[in-house]
Structure 1
Amino acid sequence: MNKGRMNLKQVDFKLKQCQSIAQVVSSDQIEIMEAKVDNSSTLFKLKKRRSSPLIMGSFLGLALTQQNRIKRRRRTKKTTRITRRSRDTSEIPLDLLIEILCRLPGKYLARFKCVSKQWSSLISPRYFCELLFTTTRGKQQPHLYMCLVDDDEKSALLSMSATSPDNTCFVVDQDLSIPAMGGYFLNIFHGLICFTVRKKACVYNPSTGHRLTLPMIKPDIRADRGQVMYIKRHYMGYDPVDNKHKLLCTIVMYRDRLFNLKSEHWVFVLEAGGSWKKVVPHEIYRPHAPFAVGQYCISASVVHYLAWHDMYTCAIVSFDFRSEELTTIIAPDDVRANMSIPALEMKADLIEYGGKVAIFEHSNLKIEGMVVLWVLEDAEKKEWSKRSLVLQPCQRHLVQYTEFIVKGTTRDGKVILAPFEMHYGFYILCYDLGSNGLSKVDIKGVPHRWFDKECYFDLRLMDENESLFYLET
C-alpha cells in the first residue's frame, strides 16, 4: 500500500513537473522572439534554461510512440473486421441473396446494380424481374402518372404516389418531364411508359431513367384529296412465348365524320435492332378508328380497345401480340341506343370486370346518375350481359357539373373517372361497381402554372412493383 501510494505521488509530481516545464517552454519562446540577436549573454542564459525541456521531449516521444501503436492496432482490428464481414457476405447462398434483393425497396434496385458485378448479374436478367413482380405483386401502394400538354405544346410528365393507406390522396413526388414530349396519350405496361415525341413513339422506363425513341413509321396508305392523318395510337403488350415486349401502332386516315376511312397497323419488337413491321389483316378486315380517349384493356397477351367502323357502328378490336392477328367484335346495338349519332354522343370505354372485357357506358352519368355495364361473357359466341347501375343520390353532386372520361381500373376493381377538364383542380373519382358508390381522390403538388389554363391531360394508374418488371431496359 505504501509503495502504491508513493508511486501515485511520484506520478503526480512528475505531471506537475512536466506542466511547469511546458510553461517555461512557452515563456522562453516568447522571450526568444523578443530577444535581440546580438545579445549573446541573454541567448546563452536562455539556451541553458531550455536544456531542461529535453526531459519533457522524451516523455512526449514515448507518448506519441504508444499512441501510434494503439492506432495501428485499431486499424488492424478494423481491417480484420471488414475482411471477415466481406467473407461472410460472399458465403451467403445465392438463392438467399436473391430473396433478400427481392425484398429491398424497389426504387433502389437500379442503383444496386452498381454495387458489384455479382449484384448486376443478379438484378439485370428477366427472370429476376419476373420473380420480383410475382413476389411483390399487390403488396405495394399504387403509383399515378399524369401527362399535361397545353396549347403552346409545353408538356409535363408527373409521377405521384399515394400518401394514405386508403389511397384517398396522391402527391407529386417527381417531375419526369422530357423535352419535346408532344403526346398526351400515355400507355403503361409492365412499368414502361409510351408516349409520342413529335411524330415518333418513345418508350420510357421510370425505374432506370432509360428512354428509347423508336424510328418513325412510313405508312403505306396515302391521303386522298381532303383527307388527312387524324389518329396514331400506340398500345404496348407482351409475348410470353418469345419473352418479348411489343408495341402496336394504329394509323388512321379519314375525312370529316369518318368518311373514306382507312387504317393500318404496325408492330415493333422492343429489342436491339428492332424495326416496324406491318400487320397483314384478314380478308374480312374492316378499317376502324380507335376511340378518341385512347383507353385500352390488356388480358394475357391480347390488347383490346374500342373503335368505330363508321359513325354508327362500335366494335371491340383485339390484337394478339403472340400471333400478331387482329379480330373484331361488334358491340350490341343497345349500347348506342337513343343516340342520333353515337360516335359523337356516346361516352364509353373498356374496363376489366371480373377477369372479362366489359364496356363501361356512362353517357347518362351526369344527367341521370346512371351507368350501363356490358360484359363480354363469351368472345367466340359473342354473348353479352347487361347490368344497369344507379349512383347513390347523396353522391350525385360529384358528377352533375362535370364531364368524365374512363381511365382504367384500380387494383380492387374500381373504375377510375377523370374530369374532362382539370385546370380548376386536380382529382379523380373511383366508382365502386359493387356498392354503386363514388370516392374522391385528391391530387396535390401539381405545379401552379398548370392551374387556370386550358390543357390536355392523360393519366394512368400503376402498381409501384410493376415499374420494376423491366429493369434491364
Structure 2
Amino acid sequence: MMKRKEHEKGSRSISILEPIALDLKKKKTKTRSSRKDNGVGGSDKSRPGKKRHHVIPYDMQVETLIRLPGKSLMKFLCVSKTWYSLIRSQRFVASYYAAKPSRFVAAFTNCVLADPKRLFVFSGEEEEEENSSSSLVANLDMTIPSVTLSHGSFKYSSVHGFMACNDGTTFIICNPSTGQVITFPCKATGTRLGYDPVGDQFKALTLLTSRFDHLHNPSLMCTHEVITLGRGGRVVSRSRFTSPPYDPITMGLTINGFMYYGASLPLREDNLFLVCFDVRNERILSFIPTPTDALVWQGFSSLIEYKGKLAFVVPNCQGLSFDRFDLWILEDVTKHEWSRQSFQLPLSLPFTVGMGQRMISQGTNKAGEIIFSPAILPGRAQPFYVFYFNPVTNKTRRVRIHGVADTEDFWSRYGLTDTCCASFLPQHADTSLFFCV
C-alpha cells in the first residue's frame, strides 16, 4: 500500500510540472503580440508599458525537465527550438539518466498455439535492497498485436533502453518509455540487437547460414547480415560479412560495444564456445573457449552481465528443480580466463526442460543480486514472483510483481488461453529515449 501511495504521489508531481511548457509558450506568444501593439523597431525606453521577457536559467530548466517522464519530454521537443536543443544535448541526457531510478521490464506473449496473439510489455521502478519491500508494482506500458514466441526459442533482450525480440523472420524493437515500436523483416530467424556506444548506433545481426545448410556442408562459411538503424529506427544500411562456420545456441548480450552469444561447431554439440561480435567494426572478433560445465545445452545456461563482466548462471538440477547453481565469470576476454563460484539456495526453484515451470536468470540489479524469474507465466491469474539472490550474504528474497497478468479480469479481457512465455529484464535504463527522434 505504501508503494502504491508513493507511486500516485509521484504521478501527481509530474502532472503539476507538465503545464510549464504551455505557460512558457503562452508567455512567448503574448510577448510577441505586445511588441506588435507598441510598434516594431522601437526601443524599450519608448515603450514604458512593455513587459520584459525573462529567460529561465539553464540549470532551472534542466532540474524541471529531468523530473518528467520520457513521453512528456518527447512532446516538449515541439515547444521551441531552444527546448529541442536542450533536451537533445549530451549534458541534459547525462543529467536525465543520472536522476532516474533503475527500472525493470516484464514481458510475455501467448504461445504459438494460442489465439489471439499479442506481446505485453510492463515496467516499474526497482528498489534498493536495504529499502526493498516484498512487492513491486508493474504498469502495462504497451501491447503489440500479432506477436508470439514459442517456448524455448530466443526471447527478449534489453539493449541500451530498447527491448528486442524475434517473431520468426520479423524483428521487433520497442521502447516501453515512449511506446515506440520498430518492426522490420530479416532474412533469417534469430536476429540479435547490439549497440555501439562510440558511434551511438544500434545494429541488428542476422546469421543467414542455417543449421540445415551445415547438415549438407559442415565446413560452409557463415554469412551474416548487419542492419544499421538510424534516428527513429530507420534502416540506414545493410551489409554482409563471412566467418568460420558455427551454429548459435543462445541469445545475445551486449557489453561495451561487443555482442556475445553461445555457439557450437556444426554437428558438434560437444564443442561449445562464445562468439564475440564487434558491433562498431561489424566483424567477428574472436571465438572464446568456455569451460565444459559453463555453456550447457537446452537452456540450462543463462548469459548475464555480472559486475560489468560476462557470466554464465548454470543451475545444478536435481530432477525438476534446483537449489544450487554455478556462476562462471569471464575474468579476461583477451586471455580467455574464467573463474567459478558455487552457491547454495535456501529453497528449491523449479526447472523443467519441456513446457513446464522454469526459473531462469536474465541479469542482476544495482545491488549485485542475481535475479531468477519465470520463463512462462505461473498460471491463470496467478501471482508473478521473482527471486533475488545476494551472492555476498547468501540470502534469497521473494518479490511479487503486482500487475503482471495476476487477475482473472486481465486474462478474460485479453483472451489469454494458453502457456505464455515470459521474461523479466532488470536494470532496463531508458537510454534509448533520445534515439527515437
Deviates more, 1:459-468 or 1:420-429: 459-468
Answer yes or no: is the 8 Å Cα contact 1:405–1:417 preserved in 2: yes
Q: Say if 1:377 and 1:383, in contact at 8 Å, map to a contact too.
A: yes
Deviations along 1:384-427, one digit per CA (max 9) or x if unpaired, are 22222122xxx324458953222222222222212233232322
How far did residue 126 of structure 1 move?
5.7
Equivalent residue letter for 2:56: I
What is the CA-CA distance between 1:191 and the residue it aligns to? 1.7
Greater Rg, structure 1 or structure 2?
A: 1
SS of corresponding position for 2:73? helix
Q: Which has more strand, going by share of residues?
A: 2
**Change over 3 Å in CA distance of 1:397–1:383 after alignment to 2:** closer
Identify which of 130, 144, 150 aligns with 2:105.
144
* Aligned: 1:266 with 2:225: yes
Q: Is the 8 A contact 1:217 1:276 kept in 2?
A: no
Contact 1:264 1:287 in 2 (8 A): no
Report the Cα offset of residue 452 of structure 1. Answer: 7.0
Deviation at 1:428, TM superposition (A): 1.8
**Equivalents in 1 of 2:194, 2:108: separation in Å?**
17
The yes-or-no answer on 1:160 pairing with 2:128 is no
- Counting aligned pairs with the same residue, the percent is 25
Q: Within 2, Cα distance between the matches of 1:169 and 1:328?
A: 41
| Partner amino acid, structure 1, of 2:175 | N
Provide the C-alpha distance between the structure 2 equivalents of 1:110 and 1:463, rounded to a whole number of angstroms: 19
Q: 1:406-425, aligned counterparts within 5 Å?
A: 406-424=361-379, 425=382
Paired residue secondary structure (1:118): helix
Q: How much has 1:302 moved relative to structure 2?
A: 1.0
Partner of 1:73: none
Inter-CA distance 171–152: structure 2 relative to 1 (3 Å threshold): same
CA distance in 1, matches of 2:351, 2:186: 43
TM-score, with structure 2 as normaliser: 0.71
Residue pairs, 1:50-129, within 5 angstroms: 90-94=54-58, 96-123=60-87, 125=88, 127=90
8 Å CA contact 2:97–2:431 kept in 1: the answer is no
> Runs of 5+ in structure 2 lacking a partner?
1-25, 35-49
- Which one of 242, 247, 250 corresponds to residue 204 of structure 2? 247
Please give the alpha-carbon distance, in whole angstroms, between the structure 1 residues aligned to 2:269 and 2:238: 30
- Give the distance between the partners of 2:436 and 2:133, measured in 1 at CA: 26
Instruction: Spell out the pairing of 1:362-381 with structure 2 (5 A cutoff).
Output: 362-364=315-317, 369-381=323-335
Given residue 360 of structure 1, which amino acid in structure 2 is its aligned partner? V
Partner of residue 177, structure 2? 207
Distance in 2, Cα, partners of 1:247 & 1:318: 14
When the two structures are aligned, how many residues end up with a matched partner?
362
DSSP-derived class of the 1:109 partner: helix
Q: Counterpart in 2 of 1:290?
A: 249
Give the helix-richer structure, 1 or 2: 1
CA distance 1:108–1:422, change in 2 (3 Å): same
Query: 1:289-368 alignment to 2 at 5 Å?
Result: 289-291=248-250, 294=251, 296-309=252-265, 310-326=268-284, 327-335=286-294, 342-344=296-298, 347-364=300-317
Residue identity opposite 2:61 in structure 1: L
**d(CA) in 1 for partners of 2:339 and 2:162?**
34
Counterpart CA distance in 2 for 1:256 and 1:440 is: 45
Partner of 1:21: none
Give me the TM-score of the superposition, normalised by structure 1.
0.66
Give the corresponding residue for 1:386: 340
Which residue type is aligned with residue 421 of structure 1? Answer: I
Q: Note the aligned Cα RMSD (angstroms).
A: 3.5
Residue 459 of structure 1 pairs with residue 424 of structure 2: yes
Cross-structure match for 2:238: 276
- Unaligned regions of 5+ residues in structure 1, if any? 1-77, 220-230, 337-341
What are the superposed Cα offsets for residues 326-363 of structure 1, whole Å, 9 maximum, x if unpaired? 12111113436xxxxx524x711222223221221113
CA contact (8 A) 1:181 1:198 kept: no
CA contact (8 A) 1:316 1:328 kept: yes
Distance 1:79 1:464, change over 3 A: closer
Residue 171 of structure 1 corresponds to: 137
CA distance in 2, matches of 1:432, 1:370: 13
What is the CA deviation profile of residues 310-334 of structure 1, one whole-angstrom value per residue up to 9, with x for unaligned ones?
A: 3112212111111222121111134
User: Does the CA-based 8 Å contact 1:370-1:390 persist in structure 2?
Assistant: yes
Deviations 1:172-225 (A, max 9, x none): 4224112222347223222222234553223223333333322x3346xxxxxx
Verify the 8 A CA contact 1:162 1:169 in the aligned structure 2. no
